[in-house]
Amino acid sequence: MKKFTSLKSIPAYLPIVNIDTDMIIPKQFLKTIKRTGLGKNLFYEMRYDNDGKVIENFVLNKKPYNNSNILIAGNNFGCGSSREHAPWALLDFGITCVISTSYADIFYNNCFKNGILPIVLDEDKIKELSEYSNRQEEILVDLKDEKITYGNNEVSFKIDPFKKKCLMEGLDDIALSLEKSDKIKSFEDKLKIKKPWLFNDQS
C-alpha cells in the first residue's frame, strides 16, 4: 500500500448526499477479478450517457477536476454495498482523499486498506472548502498534523491513531496481525475446549 503523508490538489466537489457504492462503481464492473483498472468506470452512470458517451459537464470529466486527488462530497458518503471496488475505483482514478460529513462504516474501513484518507468535517467547513473547488484553488491536506490548509485558513480533523500510523507508513495489516499468531493459536485452543461444536460439526 502506498503511504499517505500529505496531499495538495484542487478538490472536485460533488454536492450529492448519500452517494452509495453502486453509484461510485456500478455492478457491471464488479465482474473483474483484479483490483486495478476501475478508474475509467468511476461514477460511470454520471460520467457517461446511455450510449457510453462522455457527459462533458460532469465534474470529474471537466478540467482541472479530472486530475483532482481530493473529492468533496455530501453526507453519508459510501453507503450501501460493501464492495471494495469503490475505493479501488477512486484510487485508480487518482483520488486518495475524500472529504464528507460522514461515511458508511464499511466504506470508511475499506479506504484505509487502500491508502485513501477519508476526512470528516462539519457541513459549514465543507461549504467553505467547496468554494476552493469552484475557484479552482488548491488545498493542502496534511495527515501528520491532521489539518487542511486552504488560503490563509486551517481546519483540523481527527483520525484514529492506529489507522493514521498504518496510512503514514503504508503498513500491511495482515502482516501486523500475523505477528500475533501465538495469541490467535492460544485463543483457538481454548475455544476448541469451550465451544467444541464450532469446529466439529462441519458435515
Comparing CB distances to other proteins, the nearer of 56 and 161 is 161
Among 27, 40, 144, 192, binds other proteins (CB under 8 A): 27
First to last CA, the chain: 39
Residues forming beta bridges with residue 12, ordered by sequence position: 71
**What DSSP state is assigned to residue 54?**
B
**Cα-based torsion angle of the residue sequence 107, 111, 117, 119 in order, rounded to the nearest 10 degrees:** 10
Cβ–Cβ under 8 Å, residues 24 and 78: yes
Minimum CB–partner distance for residue 165 and other proteins (Å)? 10
Cα separation of 21 and 87, whole Å? 9
Contacts of other proteins in 97-126 (CB under 8 A)? 102-106, 109-110, 113-114
Comparing CB distances to other proteins, the nearer of 4 and 9 is 4
Which residues would be at the binding site for other proteins (CB under 8 A)? 15-18, 20, 22-23, 26-28, 30-35, 45, 50, 74-76, 79-84, 87, 102-106, 109-110, 113-114, 160-162, 173-174, 177-178, 180-181, 183-184, 187-188, 191, 195-203
